[in-house]
Amino acid sequence: MTTRRRALLAIVLVVLSLIAACGIPKDSHPRLIAEEPEGFNTSTQPTIGVGGLEVHVYLIDGQADPLKLAARKRPTTQQPGPLEAVAALLLGLTKDDDVQGYQTKIPQGTQLRDDSKVDGKLVTIDLSSEISTISAQNAVQAYAQLVYTATQYPSGPSQVQFLTEGKPINAQTDAATKSVVGRSDYRSLAPKS
């Protein structure tokens, strides 16, 4: 072998060694190579319905005369339950809801506070102060949305108590204001069967 061939062979071996050193080593088990950036979705499927979990939220059917509540599906990553459903309701309308004429009477920015809880047949919904900006004409509809959304589970709560920033409040119903309410207090808005 000539000197030139030996030099060329040595260069090829060095290049191959470098290429092999740059590869991903074999492992006996999978490992994370890099973290996925926040908000980055590698799925080819839409993010709606991830995990197949969903809750119903109750919106005002703006096409109904008189106005009625209507159930709309929302995806959730949490185990479905009364408080998860209320949290989904407070996120507001989707573009599809808006196009189809659904409305919400709950003031924008209203949030579910951490001390909300379910205790047997009673769910306590503690809302941020934005709920107190509700107009008198929208109060019955807003509270009806919250009550129907929180009481949608047959083995779950059937009564709702409201708090604002930790302080008990009375909810406007079809007939009066009450400290504890249920679906029967909003018969005028009951969804169409």
| Span 94-116, pLDDT tens digits | 999 999 999 999 999 999 999 99
SS3 25: coil
Q: What is the pLDDT of residue 29?
A: 55
* For residue 23, pLDDT beyond 90: no
Torsion 125-130-132-138 (CA) sign: negative
* For residue 150, pLDDT beyond 50: yes
Residue with tokens 């047949």: 121
Q: What is the pLDDT of residue 183?
A: 97
pTM of the model: 0.73
Q: pLDDT tens, 31-83?
A: 544 444 443 333 333 334 456 799 999 999 999 999 999 999 999 888 899 99
Q: How far apart are CA 118 and CA 61, in angstroms?
A: 28
* For residue 153, pLDDT beyond 60: yes
Mean pLDDT of 162-174: 96
Say which residues have a Cβ less than 8 Å from residue 189's Cβ, sequence separation at least 6: 60, 67, 68, 69, 140, 141, 144, 174
